[in-house]
Amino acid sequence: MAASAPGGAVFAPAADGLVAATELARGPWNPGEAHGGAPAALIAGAVEAVDQDFAVTRLAFDFFGPVPLDVPLRVTTELRRPGKRLQLVEAVLRGPDRDLMRAQAVLQRRSAQDAPPSPGPAAPPGHQGDFAEHPGLVLHADDPDRPRGFFPDAMEIRVVDGAPGTGAATAWFCLQADVLPGTPPSPVQRAVAAADFANGLSYRVPIAEWLFVNTDLTVHLSRDPVGKWIALAARTDLGDAGAGLAAGTLFDERGRIGTVAQSLFVARR
């Protein structure tokens, strides 16, 4: 069994089988609300638990509202389409009085195949073995009085191409905290947690002047990720009617593993 990740857990057990988001889930918009990648990883783990013989190939999340910290939460799953080769699972994250997130998942049975996998592009630059070559591109927060949060306390991020705030950037992500205490993040949870940073990595308008909040998250995976580090090459495009799209490609140490897309609500503060 893999060792638990250092740095605590993003969610803590609560009474009656519920959980609560800890300070390690905190997001950038409101100190009392979670980063979207935190509950997305929690839900992904619940979906994976439905049937270990099936691989998650798509997760489509709808955000009904912010996920608060320190309140009881429950994740439920329902097998909407059982099958020997393909299954559809719906998962819901519910707060004390309403649903907060929903995920529609596609699962496919794991099996050997005759068709050779596509070679695909190599992983992006700055793989974890080469991070020493990018000492100036480590994202961090140096304010000792800042509240702890999903980034940078649960998620380590190393930018290796472009720069946040320019509309396009590539970075490697490592989820350092357990999602639930004593349970190391699964490869799919690591990919989903990293995927939700597409918007925050590739934004193109000043944070102090604009809101650009993702209203959903869709992740497609062609295979299970390998290793603890997930790379994301992301780009944001903004329209002229208060909407935008953040999209990108996901990689692990062996190469491309999938894609991510987020619809954005964009408005001046």
Alpha-carbon span 225 to 190, nearest angstrom:
8
Alpha-carbon span 34 to 23, nearest angstrom:
8
Structure confidence at residue 7 (pLDDT) = 56
Considering the four listed CATH numbers 2.40.160.210, 3.40.50.300, 3.40.190.150, 3.40.1360.10, the one that applies to the domain covering 11-110+122-268 is 2.40.160.210
Q: What residues form DSSP beta bridges with 255?
A: 252
Structure confidence at residue 133 (pLDDT) = 62
Structure confidence at residue 6 (pLDDT) = 47
Residues in the chain where the model's pLDDT stays below 50: 1-6, 135-137
Domain ranges of the chain: 11-110+122-268
Q: Are 93 and 45 in contact (CB under 8 A)?
A: no
**Which of 96, 228, 27, 199 has its CA nearest to residue 10?**
27
Q: What residues form DSSP beta bridges with 105?
A: 59, 89
Alpha-carbon span 43 to 21, nearest angstrom:
13
Structure confidence at residue 29 (pLDDT) = 82
List b or e across 232-246, with b for residues whose CB sees 16 or more CB atoms inside 10 angstroms: bbbbbebeeeeebbb
Q: Say which residues have a Cβ less than 8 Å from residue 142's Cβ, sequence separation at least 6.
A: none
Q: What is the pTM of this model?
A: 0.91
Place of tokens 């509240």: 147
Q: Say which residues have a Cβ less than 8 Å from residue 190's Cβ, sequence separation at least 6.
A: 41, 173, 174, 175, 225, 228, 230
Alpha-carbon span 7 to 167, nearest angstrom:
31
Residues in the chain: 269
